Amino acid sequence: MSQDRIRTVAVVGDGPAGTTLATLLARAGLHVALFSRGRPNALVVGESLVPAVIPLLRELGVEDEVRRYSTLKPGATFVLGPGHSFEIDFATSCTRVPGYAYNVPRDRFDATLLAECEKSGVRVVKVAARVARDSGDRVRLREETLAAAGFEAQPDLVVDASGRARLVARLLGLPTHPGKRRDTALFSHCEGVPLDRDGHVHSDRLEQGWCWRIPLPGRVSVGVVAPPGVLATRGETPEAQFDAVLCGDPYLRSLAPDARRIAPVVRYTNYELSTLRGVGTNWALVGDAFGFIDPVFSSGLYLAMHSARILARAVLSGGRHALSRYEARHLRHLSAWRTAIGYFYDGRFFALLQMRDRSERSRFGRLVNPHLARHLPRVFTGEASAGRYDPWLLAALARAARREPGVDSFGIRDA
């Protein structure tokens, strides 16, 4: 790695990772150009935040604005089946981050972060950036992209924040870690979908797969997640498949008989993929362009913005090894969430919540419960997901959860 002192940075991508990074670097005095090509759909997934995002919003100075158009999210509800649900309440779980989060309309959220970039002195270039492979491990902006950025020479660092487009990783053919599952998500906005708890993100186990309910102002975002083969049996188009699950799944039908879709359906298929390298000679990856994982715990925006913040610190510290440390830290962070997500699919997440709630009813349980209740949610709120102790404790508890009554029937059903 040759970047001892980085002065000019090109950021490719205008999602939360790119805009957070660009703002932090520009505020520190670097010359930053950010490329924004716009989204093909007004509906964008990533609407539910975890509490650990709040300090980042405050650091960027945008929390007040975000609050004005968002729904306050005091916790998360996980539904195993009719009448059988568990809650994580942020106010009682969070100690080092605020005890709440928000559900955000993504178009407005992204626009807020982009406006903050411009206020901070970032040159926002509204075109799709094009990048080419240079000699060895280097990349360069193509001529027309370089001209649009307004740099006199190639920037010291090119940051890929292009999300699932993975511009640099694909260009260089970087090695990847694919996820275990190949699910498809169909997502839209609905009316007439009730909630168990106001403001909570709800994750409901369905007859096949699972779904989310995210309350937004005036509507509820609903996403259905299942293996593609399961959805293919429900209809030809994404709309037909989504509507068939909404009206046909026994749990959803009884929960929301008056549900009505009020937006088109967007399908997401490429779902989980991490790149095993995050930095190179003159490039770095951030957010989904580095790695994206299953969305069940609403971790994506936190991972994107947190990776941007630690990358910004690495760039500003300028040391030769700082970027390598960024890479290692973020790979560990992705791995901690991936492990936690595995517990949702194999049933141990519900078993852990059952252990937490059941232990309140025995004397020994009351003794250990405060510890369990305090530490169990801390990975899922993001408060401690980047640390070492809580992910380790969660893994130890998950081993114990294998013995929990019912655990074998708590997993997500695929067929």
Ligand X SMILES: Cc1cc2nc3c(=O)[nH]c(=O)nc-3n(C[C@H](O)[C@H](O)[C@H](O)COP(=O)(O)OP(=O)(O)OC[C@H]3O[C@@H](n4cnc5c(N)ncnc54)[C@H](O)[C@@H]3O)c2cc1C
Is 159 a residue that touches ligand X (CB under 6 A)? no
Q: 277: closest CA among 190, 198, 175?
A: 175
Q: How far is CA 230 from CA 204, 245, 250, 317, 393, in A?
A: 17, 10, 15, 49, 35
Is 383 a residue that touches ligand X (CB under 6 A)? no
- Residue 414's identity, in one-letter code, is D
DSSP strands (E only) in 309-354: none
Residues 121-140 that bind ligand X (CB under 6 A): 128-129
Is 165 a residue that touches ligand X (CB under 6 A)? yes
SS3 71: strand
Is 47 a residue that touches ligand X (CB under 6 A)? yes
Alpha carbons 93 and 76: distance in angstroms, whole number = 11
Q: Which stretch binds ligand X (CB under 6 A): 88-96, 156-164, 238-246, 395-403?
A: 156-164
- Residue 227 burial class via C-beta count within 10 angstroms: exposed 0-12, middle 13-18, buried 19 and up: middle
Candidates 288, 327, 346, 390; binder of ligand X (CB under 6 A) is 288
Alpha carbons 86 and 63: distance in angstroms, whole number = 29
Q: How far is CA 385 from CA 73, 323, 359, in A?
A: 19, 20, 24
Alpha carbons 25 and 7: distance in angstroms, whole number = 9
Contact partners, residue 375, CB within 8 Å, separation at least 6: 384, 390, 393, 394
User: Contact at 8 Å (CB) between 185 and 45?
Assistant: yes
Q: In angstroms, what is the minimal distance from the CB of 49 to ligand X?
A: 6
Q: In angstroms, what is the minimal distance from the CB of 361 to ligand X?
A: 33
Contact partners, residue 215, CB within 8 Å, separation at least 6: 71, 103, 195, 198, 199, 200, 201, 221
Is 295 a residue that touches ligand X (CB under 6 A)? yes
Q: Which stretch binds ligand X (CB under 6 A): 45-53, 273-281, 329-337, 348-356?
A: 45-53
Is 273 a residue that touches ligand X (CB under 6 A)? no
Residues 4-23 that bind ligand X (CB under 6 A): 12-18
Candidates 149, 158, 245, 304; binder of ligand X (CB under 6 A) is 304
Candidates 11, 22, 185, 256; binder of ligand X (CB under 6 A) is 185
Candidates 3, 23, 36, 369; binder of ligand X (CB under 6 A) is 36
Is 292 a residue that touches ligand X (CB under 6 A)? yes
Q: In angstroms, what is the minimal distance from the CB of 213 to ligand X?
A: 11
Q: Which stretch binds ligand X (CB under 6 A): 300-308, 332-340, 345-353, 391-399?
A: 300-308
Q: In angstroms, what is the minimal distance from the CB of 386 to ligand X?
A: 15
Is 301 a residue that touches ligand X (CB under 6 A)? yes
Name which of 98 and 300 has its Cβ closer to ligand X: 300
Binding interface with ligand X (CB under 6 A): 12-18, 35-37, 39, 45-49, 128-129, 161-165, 167, 185, 187, 223, 268, 287-289, 292, 295, 298-301, 304
